[in-house]
Amino acid sequence: MLLDGPFATDLQSRSLWGPTPARKPFMLDTMNRTEVIQSLLSRRRDPTYLEIGVEMGLVLLALRAGRKIAVDPEFKIPWRDRFLAYFRHRSNRSISYFAETSDDFFANHASALSDGIDVAFVDGLHTHEQAHRDVVNCLKYLKPSGVIVMHDCLPPHAAAALAGPSLRAVEALEAPGWTGEWTGDVYKSVMQLRAERSDLNVFVLDCDYGIGIVEWGQPETTLEMNLADISALSFEEFSKHQQEYLNLKPAECFSSWLNSRSVAAAD
């Protein structure tokens, strides 16, 4: 199946995919998204946490936060898990669930964020445009020392990086090398932020399919590329330069970065 519109180019150029870069499986990583997010939350008093894209609630229900806000048009949290989580931590008793797309949430229910976001986790629809829009919308409510965490910024191979309007549509392509892992082209949204925003520091940790970190402040480095070039970039070209394009860092850098940040009392 081939798709029309913005996804067509990527899908139709399947024969141009480059060799898959060698990489150990992400499940062997020592750090994962839950640990990164919890480390950020634990440094703050009664933090507000927003998760976009929740699915079974593996991350949402494991975290301790002051307040949790969850957005997903199709929650798949088993009732048993919801029930057990209720007893695990106080903040699981008052989660605000919004069963809608992130765009609808920001259009209609953003008042839920009026106290500001301490930590947001962007893990909804895995497309360049949607991930970028989710980050930009979160920034409107992000506290001065708040952090946005993005998932799936580092595709493990070309098939996982396929662009498409949904997991089902990409799965239906039966692409060579498909393993069921789908990061989509979220990496392009990281690149766009690095190319366009002089008020944000953005980098990606090399673990758990690439954990993107977005914070207010002067960028450590910027990317000299325009949006048209980023949109048209092939996976093959991306994988040759991923270190530079994503400001990719070893997972071990996370703790020194975390220790270097101060949470402003004014937040």
Contact residues toward ligand SAM (CB under 6 A) are 33, 52-55, 58-59, 71-74, 101-102, 123-125, 130
Quote the least distance from Cβ 262 to ligand SAM, whole Å. Answer: 28
Distance of closest approach, residue 259 Cβ to ligand SAM, in angstroms? 25
Smaller CB separation from ligand SAM, 186 or 223: 186
Q: HSE of 243 in the Cβ direction (CA atoms, 13 Å)?
A: 3
Measured CA to CA, the distance from residue 250 to residue 254 in angstroms comes to 8
When the beta carbons of 66 and 73 are compared against ligand SAM, the nearer one is: 73
Q: Smallest distance from the beta carbon of 3 to ligand SAM, in angstroms?
A: 16
CB of 80 to ligand SAM, least distance (A): 16
Which residue number, 40 or 223, has a Cβ lying nearer to ligand SAM?
A: 40
Separation between Cα atoms, residue 191 and residue 231, nearest integer Å: 10
Please tell me whether residue 185 adopts helix, strand or coil conformation. Answer: coil
Whether residue 109 contacts residue 21, with contact meaning beta carbons closer than 8 Å, is answered with no
Dihedral sign, Cα of residue 152, residue 154, residue 156, residue 160 = positive
| Nearer CB in complex with ligand SAM: 103/196 | 103
β-pairing, 200-206 vs 248-250, is: parallel
With beta carbons less than 8 A apart as the criterion, state whether 84 and 105 touch: no
Token pair 């070209």: residue? 237
Q: Give the SS3 label for residue 204.
A: strand
Q: Which is nearer to ligand SAM, 130 or 192 (CB)?
A: 130
Q: DSSP letter string over 219-247?
A: -SS-----HHHHHH--HHHHHHHHHHHHT
Least distance CB 163 / ligand SAM (angstroms): 14
Residue 149 CB, nearest distance to ligand SAM (Å)? 10
Helix (H, G, I), strand (E, B) or coil at 256: helix
Place of tokens 């199946």: 1
Smaller CB separation from ligand SAM, 22 or 28: 28
Question: Strand locations in the chain, DSSP E?
Answer: 48-52, 67-71, 96-98, 117-122, 142-150, 200-206, 211-216, 248-250
CB nearer to ligand SAM: give 8 or 107.
107
Q: How far is the CB of 44 from ligand SAM (least distance, A)?
A: 20
